Amino acid sequence: MTDEQPPSSTTAELSEYLTRQLKQITAIASGALTKIPDPLTLTNLIVTVLITTKDLTVTGLATIVDLTVTGITTLLTLTVSGLATFTNQIISTRANNTGDGLGQVYLNGLLGNRIEFGQAGIAPPSFNTKSLGTKVSLRHAISATQADYAIGTDTGTFWSSIPRIIESFKWYGGITKIMELTGDGILTLGSTGRKVSTFEVQVTAASSGSIVQFNNIPANTIKITISVWNMSMSGTIPPLIRLGVGSVLQATGYLGITISTSGTAMTSTTVSPTGFDMVNTLAAATTWIGSFKLTSMRGTGSGEWTISGIMGGTNAVVSGSCAGGVNIAGVVDCIGIVLPTTAFDTAMTVSILCEE
């Protein structure tokens, strides 16, 4: 192939020049390098490579609309420089190589390396078709009931996706798992399996009566935080917190102290043996907000549990607090707030936070 320079005059002369160059390319069957120099735009370039050891270098082009390499299926090296645009897909079928710098795509710039995305494409993960917000599809899993393993962007959001809630995200330090987040929102910290999960129930006077109980506490729970919002009783008997096994709340063995304040006055007493008193004394129709934390001392969910917490009145200058413990014969799987003789008299919210 000659080093003939392209004409700069008429379209016909440029067309004739390109025809000569392409004929020379097709005729080459030996040598180390095929060069295609300097037209502005090259459309539907077809290069027939007859020898598997050929390299192809394309230089100085503004746009390649379609580059097809036919003949022997192995093109060892394609070097492209000076290009502004590729308007078609780039596909590599090279086998995987785990060596450094031997990936199918390898960026090795002198001062830095990056892949940059334009502004278009904003959407959450989706079923059926790939989301417009997908930036990198890590593994195809799209179906009518699954999303991809992918990362992408939505409005004000950077997201990562897994196909279904039964899959999970994991983070590693070296080869040690340091955190896992399941698709249904259970977070596990560290390799020993400390988990955080939440449960919430809305309770009304009509449906709750004198007890609010949570069952199915996760196995190996070692901390439980129980919180109340707008709790009010029709009588003056304090509400009790109880733990239990087999969905049955234990009503014996509770120890500790409960304190109440009203203005500047304070009273205290031992807790009832039938449960942890959330407050020492109270007036009917007082509305309460607060939280109590219970902790398994052995870290197994059974044996000794301690409690501490406080709540305050929203319509009176009053507060109630409790500190104590109880020995549970078995692994705790339920917790409840019980009124021994009266009932809750307003709609309220009770939630528990369980940590494993």
The candidate with the shortest Cα–Cα distance to 295, out of 317, 276, 273, is 276
Binned average pLDDT, 10 residues per bin, the chain of 356 residues: 57 61 49 44 50 53 57 56 66 86 89 92 96 95 96 95 94 91 83 62 54 85 89 84 95 92 82 88 82 90 91 84 93 91 80 84
318-340 pLDDT tens trace = 888 899 999 998 999 999 999 88
The structural domains of the chain, with segments of one domain joined by +, span 11-86, 124-164, 197-355
- For residue range 271-292, list pLDDT tens digits in order: 889 999 988 777 777 888 999 9
Which of these CATH numbers, 2.30.30, 1.20.120, 2.60.120, 3.30.70, describes 197-355? Answer: 2.60.120
pLDDT of residue 345: 77
